[in-house]
Structure 1
Amino acid sequence: MFGGLGDMGNMLKKVGEMKAKMAAAEKELQNTVIKEISADGALEVEITGKMKLKSVRLLKDFAANDRGRIEKTIYEVFNKALEQVGRTAQQKLSAVTGGLKIPGLL
């Protein structure tokens, strides 16, 4: 009569374990910093695993009239860093979910 309750208890235990692992993965992502440097070595961008911009550094001098090049470089490096953050987050969360796609996570 109550045989199914044991299965339900195990499932709830597994859900609790997964929640704890997800919280640990989220904390790890919060402490992760992705650094990306432009191809010409002129700009460095750092972004946290939670997609918060941490820093932007000019590593080389730019001429005063290089505004367009600076803007393009920032755009390209920032997007490369965001792609890396997305891949890193997906790897960490996939390890917890066993590859199961859970809506709202990524």
Structure 2
Amino acid sequence: MKGGMGNMNNMMKQMQKMQKKMEKAQEELHEMTFESTAGGGMVKVVANGKKQITDVEIQEDVVDPDDVDMLQDLILTATNDVIKQVEDKTNDTMGQFTKGMNIPGM
């Protein structure tokens, strides 16, 4: 039985190390900046790793009162793309911790 407890303690230490690495990776992700443009750079959307939009830049040339739909489409395109970038980076970064593990919900 004693050998089993040693293995359990060792496994718990490894899990704690992995948890600290995961927390550090998540903090680093949250500090990252992601950027997407649409319309050849006419609209730029910037987000952080928390999926929060931190900046939107719109070139004056694209602001046409007769074609608001196009501007809205450009903003949506850039916003959706920047959020996808954050999600992809998050999945790549955090996925390294769950590779090979069969954990439901991860």
Alignment of 1:22-101 (within 5 A): 22-61=22-61, 62-98=63-99, 100=101
Q: 2:31 is matched by which residue type in structure 1?
A: N
Summarize deviations over 1:18-57 as a string: whole Å, max 9, x none.
1101110110111011000114221000011110111110
State, as a whole percentage, how many aligned pairs show the same letter. Answer: 29
The CA deviation at 1:99 is 5.6
- Can you list the C-alpha shifts for 1:39-95, whole angstroms capped at 9, x where unaligned? 422100001111011111013422222211111111111111111111100111123
Moved more, 90-99 or 21-30: 90-99
Q: Within 2, Cα distance between the matches of 1:98 and 1:74?
A: 35
Partner SS, residue 46 of structure 1: strand
- 1:33 aligned partner, one-letter code: T
Change (3 A) 1:28 1:104: farther
Larger deviation: 61-70 or 17-26?
61-70
The 1-side partners of 2:79 and 2:27 are apart by 22
Structure 2 unaligned spans of 5+: none
The TM-score, its normalising length taken from structure 2, stands at 0.87
